[in-house]
Amino acid sequence: MDRYALFGQAVSQSLSPRIHQRFAEQTQQSLTYTAQSVAPELFPQVLESFFATGGQGANITAPFKTVAARYVDQLTPAAQLGAVNTVLPLGDGRLLGDNGDGIGLVKDLQRQQLLLPGARILLIGAGGAARGILLPLLATQPAEVVLLNRTLATAAQLAAECTKLGPVKIAQPQRLHHGVFDLVIQATSARSLDALHPWLASLRWEAAACYDLNYQPNTTPFLQWARQQGASRLSDGLGMLVEQAAYAFQCWRQVLPSVEALLHTLRRELA
């Protein structure tokens, strides 16, 4: 039976094995998919061993997306900003790094009518999660994407890499007072987000749709906080998770599973 796996630092509660098993049943594919927590210093060896022993595909999650981009032999255009969440063997011993996060995010945003051409987008974070979603966001032709990050130099580096790709700017936290955005996307760690709360509180939240790349039962801390600030259009990242899983499944198995019924089922189970 073909083997697939998710590698991350704390993935024991991940829904990904359940999602891929449902996809396999739906498409009549024979495979196994497991979630493996890995210590940072062991990640390269674990990934190499997985493929050396016959692994057919891997998903990568925090904090290894940028590490994986440096480790694979070739990157797809979707991973050109240096973040990988899907790895495929090329058949000659080399590994291909791809990223379906942004594709999954855009599909979920469009499903919920939260993303329109010409939107002003505030992207909180400039790490591997932000790098994985930025290119597909720019492809929707927003008016601008503004990066807000605890470390300004990290945001500046990412913006510089996007100079020829689209309208990406850096947010100066002290200048966010009464800022108006159509969409606010949370793509950072809780610790980093806490440090930005004083600056974020000054935004006009009633005008923004808010999307957290994370998901958990009920709601995430960011979405709860955004509601307290006056935001009313709120969504977590469960739809993105299912959509990017479908993208990876298609890359590996050459068949695209249906996501709608599974997404509704997972929503009910999480509730």
Catalytic residues: 65
**81 confidence band (pLDDT: 50, 70, 90):** very high
Backbone angles phi, psi at 55, to 5 degrees: -60, 140
Q: Give the list of residues 6+ apart from residue 63 with CB closer than 8 angstroms, or none.
A: 8, 9, 40, 128
pTM for the model stands at 0.94
The pLDDT score that the predictor gives to residue 57 is 98
- pLDDT beyond 80 at 175: no
pLDDT tens-place string over residues 208-227: 999 999 998 888 999 999 99
Q: Is the pLDDT of residue 16 over 80?
A: yes
φ, ψ of residue 127 to 5 degrees: the values are -95, -150
Percent of the chain with pLDDT over 90: 82
Mean pLDDT of 49-61: 97
**Residues 6 or more apart whose Cβ sits within 8 Å of residue 47:** 7, 58, 68, 71, 87
Structural domains in the chain, sorted by start: 2-99+240-270 (3.40.50.10860), 102-236 (3.40.50.720)
- Mapped onto helix, strand or coil, the DSSP state of residue 33 is strand
The predicted structure's pLDDT at residue 174:
72
d(CA 98, CA 105): 15
Tell me the C-alpha distance between 110 and 214, whole Å. Answer: 18
Q: How far apart are CA 132 and CA 83, in angstroms?
A: 5
120-126: average pLDDT = 95
pLDDT at 197: 82
What tens digit of pLDDT does each residue of 134-144 get? 999 999 999 99
Residue 267 CB coordination number (10 Å): 14
In this predicted structure, the answer to whether residue 201 has a pLDDT above a threshold of 90 is no
